[in-house]
């Protein structure tokens, strides 16, 4: 904070020379407006999306700035970890949790965890091994084993932001929930893995270390999730309790926004994964808190959170685009064109192979676990999952800066090369892989197939769907009996014991248990749909359908 203050007073009110910061802000805000307008104009274009527009616009602006300043001011717009992790990432991930289709997400929970945790480790192993094998042959010998492991994590971190723009939650719900869910868990896993790698000492690398790492990951995953859920529930409880017969829309919106952000910074403060925390906080808020507030608050939070996320996303891509022209590092990197190209293509190949090495085997595993044929992941969908997760984004850049720079400056030419190569891979994967994703989906999953992929998860009416409808307000004790009856009446499921239910359809069973618990214990305390005076107004017509407020 001392330096923050130093910085802040430098750009003082009356001091003429220090308008750099204001100028940078003006430039960025203008570019953001331009991106939004261009994005609107290009919306129907099948190749472009908002990310690529922002990336290209940022890149062009970077060139102009560089030319105008005669190559000196590249540092003005240098990538900045804190801005990214503390201010830009939280609204994006929170909004994703807030708007995610919860039922879909939890139904695919096992597959998401397989991809997001086991997948990262597989990809990490392949990329690290590949780099340490190929890089010395390309003349980049000064990297330590720790640097190779860091490269492995840096390029295993997929870009959940870009995924959100490429896949549509409504058109391909299964793919969206798998790829995006994986992205969120992946973010957490790679950051944890990255921290573990940085702390690693190679003097005593034993099985105990591996066990410790596993333990620390499990601790991190569970405590982050619990923190997010607790904060979300607290916000629901506060708003429900404070109601007092008078609503205050501004206060409600402020409490929701601030507590969502609080969950993130608290997690960071406790060295947990803020990404996981704020994601689960978003889910809990949309299930409970959102139903406790006024109708104006509901419309406002829904759109305001989406807009904040949208602006942050666009900002990140602008930023990454501009940052590509980090002249100092390009000058410092002493590699030849051939070397650079070698490193670049090695990494791209490793990313492609590393992802293929876990998507296809783990999909097969997931299909084996699921048994029921209509929730299996088809081969076409596997290809899309593989492709849509190839993009690398701001998380990779942030990690690379953390590993290979001190205060933004590279320590040596090898490190400068690592940074420039990372930037190159991020730009290429976002633009080229990103552009090809939409056409690929259209090619592999034409609309007639896509309707099948929707029916995968909601149609046709399976026993569990019927049960879900029947036990809407049934308390815990009556649950299994009632469900069996419901099944009987519809002539689809015979009376079964709880155990056989669990074996036959575990997800459905857990879901029903949760629903009973929610109705009996959670909703009376924390509110939620049906537990606050519900005024059927415009929202039920115009907004309720759009906002995914289904039970999970």
Name which of residues 379 to 418 contact its own copies (CB under 8 A): 398-399, 401-402, 405-408
Is 201 one of the binding residues for its own copies (CB under 8 A)? no
Give yes or no for residue 259 binding its own copies (CB under 8 A): yes
Q: Which is nearer to its own copies, 312 or 347 (CB)?
A: 312
- CB of 463: closest distance to its own copies in angstroms? 38
CB of 84 to its own copies, least distance (A): 9
Using CB under 8 A as the binding rule, the residues of this chain from 238 to 257 that contact its own copies are: 238, 242, 244, 248-251, 253-255, 257
Q: How far apart are CA 230 and CA 202, in angstroms?
A: 38
HSE-up of 74 (CA within 13 Å, CB side)?
19
Comparing CB distances to its own copies, the nearer of 337 and 541 is 541
* Burial environment of residue 181 by CB neighbours within 10 A (0 to 12, 13 to 18, 19 or more): buried
Of the candidate spans 63-71, 176-184, 486-494, 539-547, the one that interacts with its own copies by CB under 8 A turns out to be 539-547
x/- track of binding to its own copies for residues 83-102 (CB under 8 A): x-xx----------------
Q: How many CA atoms lie within 13 A of 358 on its CB side?
A: 26
Q: How far is the CB of 271 from its own copies (least distance, A)?
A: 8
* Residue 5 found at the interface with its own copies (CB under 8 A): yes
Annotate 37-77 with DSSP letters as a single string: HHHHHTTT-SS--HHHHHHHHHHHHHHHHHHHTTT-GGGGG
Q: Is residue 293 involved in binding its own copies (CB under 8 A)?
A: no
Nearer to its own copies, 380 or 547 (CB): 547
Nearer CB in complex with its own copies: 326/519: 326
Cα–Cα distance between 120 and 396 in angstroms, integer?
Answer: 13
Of 56-64, 129-137, 237-245, 275-283, the window that binds its own copies (rule: CB under 8 A) is: 237-245
Using rule CB under 8 A, residue 300 touches its own copies: yes
The binder of its own copies chosen from 135, 148, 176, 194 (CB under 8 A): 194
For residue 9, the minimal CB distance to its own copies (Å) is: 5
- Cα–Cα dist 93/192, whole Å: 17
Question: In angstroms, how far is CA 149 from the centroid of its own chain?
Answer: 23
Phi-psi map region of 118: left, alpha, beta (phi>0 left; psi -120 to 50 alpha): alpha
Cβ–Cβ under 8 Å, residues 483 and 471: yes
Tokens 């923190």 — which residue? 227
Q: Applying CB under 8 A, does 327 fall inside the site for its own copies?
A: no
Site string for its own copies, 10-49 (x = CB under 8 A): xxxxx-x--xxxxxxxx--xx-xx--xx-xxx-x------
By the rule CB under 8 A, 544 interacts with its own copies:
no
Which is closer to its own copies, CB of 286 or CB of 335? 286
Q: Which stretch binds its own copies (CB under 8 A): 69-77, 200-208, 342-350, 439-447?
A: 69-77
Q: Identify whether the C-beta of residue 102 lies closer than 8 Å to the C-beta of residue 529.
A: no
Specify the length of the chain in residues.
552
**DSSP state at residue 539:** I
Closest separation in Å from C-beta 535 to its own copies: 10
Mark residues 42-61: x for contact with its own copies by CB under 8 A, - for none: -x------------------
Q: Which two tokens mark 533?
A: 């005076």
CA-CA distance, 212 to 214, in Å (whole number)? 5
SS3 at position 115: helix
Kindly tell me which of 200 and 432 has the beta carbon lying closer to its own copies: 200
List the interface residues with its own copies, window 262-291 (CB under 8 A): 262, 265-266, 268-269, 271
Q: Is 165 exposed, middle or buried (0-12, 13-18, 19+ CB in 10 A)?
A: buried
Which stretch of DSSP H or E encloses residue 125?
helix 119-134
């Amino acid at each position: 904070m001392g330096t923050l203050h130093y910085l802040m007073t430098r750009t003082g009110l009356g001091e003429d020379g220090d308008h750099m910061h204001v100028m940078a802000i003006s430039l960025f805000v203008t570019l953001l407006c331009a991106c939004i307008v261009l994005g609107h104009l290009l919306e129907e274009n099948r190749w472009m999306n908002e990310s690529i527009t922002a990336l290209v616009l940022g890149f062009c602006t970077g060139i102009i700035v560089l030319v105008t300043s005669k190559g000196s001011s590249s540092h003005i717009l240098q990538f900045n970890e804190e801005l990214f992790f503390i201010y830009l990432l939280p609204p994006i991930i929170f909004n994703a949790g807030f708007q995610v289709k919860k039922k879909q997400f939890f139904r695919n929970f096992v597959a998401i965890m397989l991809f997001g945790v086991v997948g990262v480790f597989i990809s990490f192993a392949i990329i690290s091994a590949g780099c340490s094998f190929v890089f010395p042959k390309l003349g980049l010998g000064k990297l330590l084993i720790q640097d190779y492991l860091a490269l492995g994590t840096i390029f295993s971190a997929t870009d959940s932001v870009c995924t959100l723009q490429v896949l549509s939650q409504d058109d391909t719900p299964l793919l969206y929930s798998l790829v995006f869910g994986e992205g969120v868990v992946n973010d957490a896993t790679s950051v944890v893995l990255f921290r573990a790698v940085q702390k690693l000492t190679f003097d005593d690398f034993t099985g105990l270390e591996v066990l410790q790492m596993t333990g620390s990951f499990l601790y991190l995953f569970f405590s982050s999730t619990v923190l997010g859920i607790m904060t979300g529930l607290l916000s629901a409880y506060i708003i429900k309790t404070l109601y007092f017969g008078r609503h205050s829309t501004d206060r409600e919106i402020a409490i929701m926004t601030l507590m969502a952000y609080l969950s993130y910074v608290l997690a960071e403060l406790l060295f947990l994964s803020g990404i996981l925390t704020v994601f689960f906080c978003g889910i809990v808020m949309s299930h409970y808190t959102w139903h406790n507030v006024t109708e104006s608050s509901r419309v406002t939070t829904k759109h305001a959170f989406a807009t904040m996320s949208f602006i942050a996303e666009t900002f990140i891509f602008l930023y990454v685009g501009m940052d590509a022209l980090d002249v100092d590092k390009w000058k410092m990197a002493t590699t030849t064109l051939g070397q650079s190209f070698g490193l670049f293509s090695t990494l791209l190949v490793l990313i492609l192979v590393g992802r293929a090495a876990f998507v296809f085997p783990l999909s097969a595993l997931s299909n084996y676990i699921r048994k029921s044929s209509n929730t299996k992941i088809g081969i076409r969908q596997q290809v899309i999952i593989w492709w849509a997760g190839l993009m690398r984004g701001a998380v990779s850049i942030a990690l690379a800066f953390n590993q290979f720079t001190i205060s933004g400056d590279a320590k040596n030419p090898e490190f400068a090369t690592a940074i420039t190569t990372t930037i190159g891979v991020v730009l290429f994967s976002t633009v080229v892989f990103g552009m090809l994703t939409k056409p690929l989906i259209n090619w592999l999953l034409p609309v007639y197939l896509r309707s099948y992929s929707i029916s995968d998860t909601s149609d046709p009416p399976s026993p569990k769907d019927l049960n879900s409808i029947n036990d809407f307000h049934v308390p815990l004790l009556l649950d299994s009996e009632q469900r069996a009856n419901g099944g009987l009446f519809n002539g689809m499921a015979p009376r079964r014991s709880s155990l056989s239910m669990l074996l036959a359809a575990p997800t459905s069973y857990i879901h029903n248990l949760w629903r009973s618990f929610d109705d009996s214990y959670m909703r009376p305390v924390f509110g939620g749909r049906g537990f606050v005076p519900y005024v059927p107004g415009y929202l039920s017509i115009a907004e309720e359908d759009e906002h995914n407020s289904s039970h999970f």
